[in-house]
Amino acid sequence: MNTTAPEALGTCRARLGETPVWCARSQSLLWVDILAQRLLRYWPDEQRTDVHAMPRFTSAVLLTREPERFLTVSQGGIALYHAGCRRFEKLCDYPADAIGTRPNEAAIAPDGALWFSTMDPAAQQPLGGWYRVSIERPVADCLLRGLWVPNTLHWVNGHIWFADSLRQRFYRASFHDSRLHIHQHYPVVGTPDGSALTLDNQLINARWGDSSLVRYRLCDTEMHPLDAIPLPVRQPSSCTFGGPQLSDLYITSARDGLTRPGALDGALLRITTPFTGSPAREFRL
């Protein structure tokens, strides 16, 4: 990838940084530190990071169609978060059939519904699955079970792409009859975590433990590896496009599990790319 060198933004170092989301309305980046129970919000123009306290195991803070009203996914359930007054408004409970797990990946689907995954907090058992919540049906419906650490979630030309980190695989699936149906799997080298998608369907994946991003081209049913970019953090966890032109790639990382973390482990990174991403989808209220 022909990009600028990775730049560390601010002094915050996350134990487990995850789920970066670019808010175009405010021109700010939101991401979570799952283990420290906090929402981090970076304002590029001011080079400032705000910190908001979050419930236990909050794995995502996503956009809604209302400014400064965000959707939070935590072990306590799904809620609307009013950032101005820092108030939560519960939308639905955490799935009863997933007690003992925690949420992990989360994204808004093209129809405005929330999809999120669950996992064993210790990543020792295949307790994970995918769930869906909509404003018309504010309950977490299970779409798929039996996964280890579900990560990455993107909709491309009628297909749904996701990964299972511990199985070191990507999957291509479809959604019908209220279930997620797997059609094909793609083994990869390394541990795939969260990903960003370009407008021309290139998937840029954070490789946990490998200090790199790996780029793929998604061509209908095929997944072609292209190249990689090294990063100055050992555990990159996810990435998303942001900035005025949606060409800046923001990358989250983690310090958790490292006996001797480096100065940048857990940092938020940014690189400028020749690619363009899509605006983040908003939960339909």
Q: In this predicted model, what pLDDT tens digit does every residue of 174-201 receive, in sequence order?
A: 999 999 999 999 999 999 999 999 999 9
> Is 157 annotated in some ligand binding site?
no
Q: What is the pLDDT of residue 17?
A: 98
Output the six-digit token pair for 277.
């991403």
Sign of the CA dihedral running 115, 120, 124, 127: negative
Residue whose pair of structure tokens reads 């795939």 in the numeric block: 192
Distance between CA atoms of 116 and 142, rounded to whole angstroms? 10
Q: Is 104 annotated as a binding residue?
A: yes
pTM exceeds cut of 0.85 = yes
Taking CA 190 as the corner, what is the angle to CA 188 and CA 195, rounded to the nearest 5 degrees? 80
Q: Is 18 annotated among the ligand-binding residues? A: yes
Is the pLDDT reported for residue 118 higher than 80?
A: yes
- Catalytic positions are 193
CB 265 within 8 A of CB 231: no
Say whether pLDDT at 1 is over 80: no
Q: What pLDDT score was predicted for residue 2?
A: 84
End-to-end CA distance of the chain: 38
> Which residues make beta-bridge pairs with 17?
33
Look up residue 204 and give its two tokens: 């840029």
Structure tokens at 105: 């990946």
Residue 105 has pLDDT above 80, yes or no: yes
Q: What is the greatest pairwise CA distance in the chain?
A: 48
Could you tell me the pLDDT band of residue 44, with boundaries at 50, 70 and 90? very high
Q: Which two tokens stand for residue 218?
A: 């998604």
pLDDT in tens, 219-232: 989 999 999 999 99
Q: Single out the residue of 69, 58, 60, 53 nearest to residue 30, CA to CA.
A: 60
| Structure-token pair, residue 37 | 């129970």
**64 close to 70: Cβ distance less than 8 angstroms:** yes
Instruction: For residue range 22-31, list pLDDT tens digits in order.
Output: 999 999 999 9
Question: For domain 7-272, which architecture applies?
Answer: 6 Propeller (2.120)
**pLDDT by residue (tens digit) across 65-81?**
999 999 999 999 999 99
Mean pLDDT, rounded, of the chain: 97
Tokens linked to 143: 């779409």
Interval 31-42: pLDDT, tens: 999 999 999 999
